[in-house]
Every structure is written in structure tokens, then in C-alpha cells.
Amino acid sequence: MRFLVVGGLSVAVDTGSLFVYHGVLKIVLPVAAGLSFLTSFWVNFGLNRAWSFGSSAQMVPQVGRYFALVLANLTANVVLVSALTWAGTPYLLAKLLVTASLSAVNYLVSKRWIFA
């Protein structure tokens, strides 16, 4: 449940950032999607480490593993949000759909590899 709460907060930060970057600042969508995803990096990592998984393991290796997951997610987010938007899906809805689809995989990877 905590993972879902942290995920929800991260989605809010990510989606709100996307709105600011693309909707307000008019940054091109692929760059804005990447920036918004990276904006939520530290919120998600810190809350998951401390609250969701209660990890006390060394943080540096966890950050490295988490960063690898983020790079995979960043690539998926930029490609899929752009593709869905190109196909006619509103960009904020595309962002939410992509994020929701990656959540289950991220939980398993986080539990078994990052914060183990």
C-alpha cells in the first residue's frame, strides 16, 4: 500500500511537472516528458527507501540500481508518451497510462533488487 501511495505522489509530481514544462513553458513534449520524469526521481527514491521498504542498506548501491531502473523507465516513458500522443491521445492522459502500466514491474524490481 505504501508503494502505491508513494507512486501516487510521484505521479502527481511527475504529471504536474509535465504540465509546467510542456503546458506552461512550452518545452517540446519528449524533452518535457523526460524532465518531468527525472523531477520525481528523488521524491520517489527517498520515500520508497525510507517509508515503503524501510531499507537501511547502503544507499549508494541502491541509488545506482534505482538509477538503472529510472533510465529504463525514462526511455519507456519518453517513447510511449510520445507515441501515444502522436496517435492522438492527450499528452497528460498518455503520461498517466504509461505510468500506470509500469507500476507493477517497478514494484517487483524495487522489492527484489533495489531495496532488498
Handedness of CA 92, 23, 47, 80 (dihedral sign): positive
Query: What is the chain's mean pLDDT, rounded?
Result: 93
Instruction: Report residues of the chain scoring pLDDT below 70.
Output: none
The cell numbers describing 12, all together, are 502527481
Model confidence pLDDT, tens digit, residues 30-51: 999 989 988 888 889 999 999 9
The cell numbers describing 79, all together, are 517513447
pTM, two decimal places: 0.69
Q: Which amino acid, residue 93?
A: L
